[in-house]
Amino acid sequence: PLDQFFSRYPTFTPTPTTAVPPEDWSIHHDFSRLREHKGWAEGTRQLSRAKGRFRQALVDEFNHIFGMDGRNLGNWQRLCRVVGVPEERIPGTITQCRKMLSIIHVNLIDLVETRYPGRGTPRRFQTLTDLRNYTLSTKKFFPREASGGGILGRLLREL
């Protein structure tokens, strides 16, 4: 889905998913580069539309990677693996997976970026405050409109 979003702009080259991005890279950097490339000014209809499509692409990307079906144990277990739960500690029920994930604080943009080579396990935070501070400092906000049922809706935190 993110690839499809960026493919709408053939004169722009995003960071390829096959390349190891720089340490300080984020998918938001690619959007900022696209904005600069296209010359979209703040407050313009073009930028507003592009932001909306980008936010939807982030949600779609998450759902593509981790699934939408909150009743599928495999989806929850995959998420546990990606956030760094050791294989032998991965729960055998959805309820146990949800309980475990409720105390693991990760940035959802970082979670989506695990599909890029060299990204590995997303950084885990001890507290919601630590996650909040990281999110504010990096500006890696996941779209609020993504809330709802399924896996993604369960992971969104109020910052």
pLDDT of 89-108, one tens digit each?
999 999 999 999 999 999 99
Place of tokens 């313009």: 44
Between 148 and 75, the higher pLDDT residue:
75
pLDDT-derived band at 116, boundaries 50, 70, 90: confident
Length of the chain: 159
Work out the widest C-alpha separation in the chain, in whole angstroms. Answer: 51
Q: In this predicted model, what pLDDT tens digit does every residue of 49-67 receive, in sequence order?
A: 999 999 999 999 999 999 9
